[in-house]
Amino acid sequence: MTDQSISTLGIGNPLDLMDRPSPETGPSGKPIVRTEQGVITEGSKVTWDRKAIFWSLPQPLLVAGSVLLAAAMVINEWGGEYYRVWTLLVAVSSTPVLLIAERFWAKKKSWLLKPDEMAEDVFWMASGGLLWAPIISDLYRTPVSEGFRALRDMSPLQIEFQPTTVLGLIGAMLIIRFTSSFFYYWLHRIQHESLFWWRMHATHHHLTKMSAMRGNRTHPFEYLALGLGTPIALALMGASDDVFIVSAAFGMWNGKFNHANLPMVSMPVWDWFFATAQQHHCHHALERRQADSNYGCDIIFWDRVFGTYCGDAEVGPAGAGKGVRLSIKDQLMLALYSDERLKSL
């Protein structure tokens, strides 16, 4: 992101106020990335060898496969009267599958989670599950699921997405995802460019390790700004429960991949539209130039349109501020701390 793009919004950048140094550049003028292993890369682009080709395949194949499977299960009601529960299992299976993969093919050994860190992430995952699972299944209800249905019933847009075919479900999901991601992009970007809004987003960026379990680390206040965006868009556009199920499969698999500690490489063409792990690791980097980029967590298209895309293949340490692990208390209190306290962490 350029200083000019920041000034056009008329707001300051909280990362400027945290005294982060300007990025180093090499002889060619390209930015230098210092990794935790002490390796310095200039330009940091992918070298397309067999390993890179191999690691470009799992994310698009498994994300697209989970979406196709979820849509087929819904249309054909595989699993009988509990078919929605089975499709929910397809979505949430992303976490255990990728956690096991991390143990065998970790991108960084230093990012492997310890038992106490995994227990902490279970807390954040459970809070997210209690909010969103009721929209997908009929096992129980919450104010969120009831609000979703009420908003859909009273939507003033007079639009309905009620497809009855596999391709129709996938197409409806993509239309709504690309539409809602436009608003998500700007809300997310403003959180990075305004200290007031950064305080509720900082919890998610104080991650010093990347892992498939970490995508749910979101402050309760942030659910009001970012987390509810897609469900609201789905409701206003008259999306059926089935469309939401397919959207959840896409969001969970892609989101878990993007936070996973795996040496993923962005597949060309796919990464023009859909966010990838390589791109999202840049967004979680301690290096400000990388952190202020790739705001689309599922759809990267708008970053390319508005000039905030970063395609670096290498990242250094992850985190924000001083780059140290925070307690759960601090993570929950970040939104309420004073400006000075917030900038000191």
- Residue 11's pLDDT is what? 42
Rg (CA), the chain: 20
In this structure, are residues 164 and 292 in contact, taking their beta carbons and an 8 Å threshold? no
Highest mean pLDDT among 84-93, 241-250, 275-284: 275-284
Contacts for 57 with CB less than 8 Å, ≥ 6 apart: 267
Q: What is the 3-state secondary structure (H, E, C) of 235-281?
A: HHCCECHHHHHHHHHHHHHHHHHHHCCCCCCCCCCHHHHECCHHHHH
Rounded to whole angstroms, the Cα distance separating 100 from 125 reads 17
Q: What is the mean pLDDT of residues 226-243?
A: 69
Q: Note the pTM of the prediction, 2 decimals.
A: 0.84
Q: Confidence band (pLDDT; 50, 70, 90) for 140? A: very low
- Residue 229's pLDDT is what? 61
- Residue 345's pLDDT is what? 82
Closest CA to 9 of 192, 198, 283: 192
| pLDDT above 70: percentage of residues in the chain | 74
Rounded to whole angstroms, the Cα distance separating 183 from 200 reads 17
| Long-range pairs, 153-162, Cβ under 8 A, ≥24 | 155/235, 155/236, 155/237, 155/238, 157/236, 157/237, 157/238, 159/236, 159/237, 159/238, 160/238, 161/237, 161/238, 161/239, 161/240, 161/243, 162/238, 162/240, 162/243
Per-residue pLDDT of 244-276, as tens digits, reads: 889 889 999 999 999 999 999 999 999 999 999
- Residue 176's pLDDT is what? 85
- Residue 155's pLDDT is what? 61
Highest mean pLDDT among 141-145, 173-177, 220-224: 173-177
Q: What is the mean pLDDT of residues 279-304?
A: 94
